[in-house]
Every structure is written in C-alpha cells, then in structure tokens.
Structure 1
Amino acid sequence: MSFDLPRNIILPVDAVDVRLDPGPHPFARDNERAIAENWQREIEANPALFDGTVVLLSALAYRDRRLVGRCHAVNYSTFMLWRKRRENSGAEHAYAHAMLVAGDNALVAIRMGPHTVNAGRVYFAAGSFEPIDFRDGLVDVDFNMMREVGEETGIDLSGAQRGHRYYALSSPSGTVIFRHYRVAEPADEIARRISAFVATEAEPEIEGPVIIRHASDLPEGLMGYMKLLIEWHFAGSGQDPSGAPSFR
C-alpha cells in the first residue's frame, strides 16, 4: 500500500481507518544514532522541547472515500529528524484540524507560541496523533481534534456541531484531516475566551487566537496549506443548499 493518494487536492473522507502497529517504525529503527545526535542539537537550540510520543505513518491510501493506513509510535526526537529527511524516508505525517466556525461564519485559528517548533505560524489548533488518540488500535480523529483544541485554547467542542464528514488535503510533507466544528458564539467572543484562557497558562502553547473573516483575509505567518482550506470554506464547499456548513 505504501503512500497512494491524490496530492494537493481536497478529498471527501467518509471514514479514517488508520491503525497503530505495535512494532517499531523502520525509520526509527534504522536511524537511532542520527536521531540522538540531531535531538541534542535541537534541545541546545530550544531547551523547551520535550521528547514525548507521537506517531508516524508507514502507509496511507485513499480508497472509496476512505483513508486507510498504518502508523507507529515514535519519540518526538524521531519526528524532528524525519522533518529534515522526509524524501524517500518511508514515513509520512498525518494530523487533524478542527476547523472552528463561529456563529458569524468566521474561522478562528491560532498563532503558535514563541517557544514551539512552529513559532509564529498560524493554523487551526492541532497536534500530532498520539497513542492516547487510538481506540483498540484504530485512530479516533475527533477525540484528537477535541483534545488538542481544549489543551491549546480552552474551548470545549463536545457540544459543537460537527460537519457531516471529514476532508483531507495531502502532500509529501503531510496529510491534514479536517472537519467543520461550529459553535454559536460570534468570532470575537470565541477569541476573547481563548485569550482569557491563554492568560491563565504558565507556558501556553499558543500566542493567541486569529480570526479569519473571508477568503482574502490571510494573516501573516499562515501555514502554506491553510490558504486552500480557507478558500474552500468561504467558497461554500462542505455546505448544504442553504449555504451554511453541513452539520449533523
């Protein structure tokens, strides 16, 4: 199976069947020394980094509106070396975005904090899949989305309306799986709540909220793939005949 899916287009996804393989990822197994040496350089440059556990894919395919794949738990230090050696590595990265839609149809993203790997970059609150995000070996995408949004912004999405399906945007640098999540409050109120939460954190992951009100409202520091997601949202994609995002 390896990596077999269309690149650089937004794909509708009815199910995500990505399973956690208990064995080591070949990239981690074959690069132990290089991983350790690179990690030493990384923490010298940024002592705030933590060598936790994330997952890397060893296979991913798009079949009949399904994402089917296999991944392995790796140390964050492995992920950091992989970022530098992606080409022909036999590994890829997938992550999930809850596309937070306010009651006034604005999008609410975040800007990452200065001590993080993506300092100053703007995207929807998110983080890599971790072993905690799997149920009986199968990834629970919505659990990951809600967990990351809660940890970074303090916003509880358990009562939000979910879009009726996932979508995915894949490139050799990574695959983002995303879904609309709508809350009733206007964007300004959501941003106020996020800012208040960040102010209570000793070491917040994010600098603060970023409101995006239309397709050309592209903030400085925006991650490259985000432009396509923003244009997709404001073009009415994933919406019902009334012109509003389709939720269930």
Structure 2
Amino acid sequence: MSEGFRSTRLADVTARLVDHDWAFPRVHEAAIAAHWQNRIARSPGMFDGTVLLCCAHTVEDGVARLDLFATRYSTFTYYRHVRHADQQIRNAFAAIVPWTADGAVLLGEMGAHTANAGQLYFPCGTPDPDDVRGDSVDLTGSAARELAEETGLVLPAEAETDWIMLEGENQLAFLRPVRFPEPAARIEARIADHLRTEAELELAGMHRVRSAAEIDPARMPGFVRAYLAGVFSRGG
C-alpha cells in the first residue's frame, strides 16, 4: 500500500471499552501540560475532553476487534507529537468516505479553530464517550455521527457496509466508502447550507477529488493519501 499504510478489507469492525494502565501520562505529565498550553494558545477553542485510544486489536475472518481505553485529549495530542512513543497504542477511528454519483470523493477542510486547521480529511473524529454503549464502542455509529455533525449528510438507506482498514503511522483508520445518489455539486450545496447554520464551524468547506493527480501531500494526512492513491490506481 502506498504512503506506508497497509490496507485490509473488512466485513465488520467491533470495539469494546477496557481498563488499561497506560504509564505514558504519568511519565510525561509535565511535558503534556506544557504542550497543551502551547496548543490552546494557538487554538483557544480546543477542549481537553476524554477520547478513546486502542491498546489491542486483532483481525480474523474479515472482522476487526479492538480494545479501547479512555484518556485525556491533551495526553493524546502530546502522544501524537512524540515519534514512536508507544507502538502498542494506536489512534483508532472510523470515517465515512463520501463518493458522489459522478465519481468524486469529498473531503472536508478543517476550520481555522481546529487542531488540524486547513488539512483535508474525510469527516471523522477520535472516538469518545458519546460512542460508548455499555461495554461496547459503536464505531459504525461514530462514523455516521461525525458525518452528520460536520456535513449534515445522512447515509443513504442502502449504504454499503464493508470497511477498509488502513494501518500505519500509529493509526488504525477504518474507512467506510459510501456512494451518495447525487452529483458532487448538489451534495456540496447541501453541505454549504448546513455549514451556514453552524455557530462554530468544524469544516471551512469541501474539496472534491477525482484522480490521483489531485492528491495534496501538504494538506492531506497519510491515511487519506493512501486511500486515494489506492482507489484511483484501480480506476475508482
């Protein structure tokens, strides 16, 4: 797989919430606090809430099974900042990949107040307590929720259910490609209407991609580039 990510096709993704004694926050307490102060100085709207990271995962018979545990967002941001901090801990998240009826992939441009301002992403987010159902974590629901919150889009009734797992850069990106029954221009207009109703925009706007030539190494994270390179090398 290009971009250093390994690709695996899946029929399903399941996750459970577990207790995990992670030494990283204790060992790096002072550095985490200093790093967080620098981050919120640049982006005052950031919130130090609870996020869920992956401490173990398996793939068997087309099903990925994850163990997720809770930590602070400030710890997570510093963990991402430190190269090769702990190979066991992964940032695992799910995202809908919106395909349009006329063959474009839609990506959102992150708003100026966000942690990744200006970057081009599929609508997604690190799982959090809103995704917990008992001792399970609903990654399918997380992906649909992030899509609806950021774009206003609701999945078609007959949406595809298969997943693609991209593994690399201490990430497990679970992507669910879904084709919407409208052309790109119409979907972008609907999203623009949604964004005009938002008081604090997660997204500044949308970008469409139709070929590998439109992959932007400066603004697209590795898992996005890897997915686009893979699908467009196969003809979409």
Written as runs of structure 1 = structure 2, the 5 A alignment for 1:1-248 is 8-89=5-86, 90-157=88-155, 159-219=156-216, 221-236=219-234
Deviation at 1:29, TM superposition (A): 4.4
Query: Whose RCO is larger (CA < 8 A, sep 6+)?
Result: 2
CA contact (8 A) 2:14 2:138 kept: no
- 1:56-79: CA deviation from partner (whole Å, max 9, x where unpaired): 111223333332231111111111
Deviation at 1:24, TM superposition (A): 4.9
| Secondary structure in 2 matching 1:74 | strand
TM-score (norm 2): 0.88
Deviation at 1:235, TM superposition (A): 4.4
What is the CA–CA distance in structure 1 between the aligned matches of 2:150 and 2:161, rounded to whole Å?
Answer: 24
TM-score (norm 1): 0.84
Deviation at 1:211, TM superposition (A): 0.9
Residues 33 and 160 from structure 1, CA distance in 2 versus in 1: closer, same or farther, beyond 3 angstroms? farther
Deviation at 1:86, TM superposition (A): 4.5
- Please tell me the root mean square deviation across aligned C-alpha atoms, in Å: 2.2
Deviation at 1:25, TM superposition (A): 3.6
- 1:179-198: CA deviation from partner (whole Å, max 9, x where unpaired): 11121111111111112211
- Structure 1 segments of 4+ aligned residues over 6 angstroms from their partners: none
Deviation at 1:32, TM superposition (A): 3.3
| Secondary structure in 2 matching 1:109 | strand
**Paired residue total:** 231
Aligned residue in 2 for 1:242: none
| Secondary structure in 1 matching 2:190 | helix
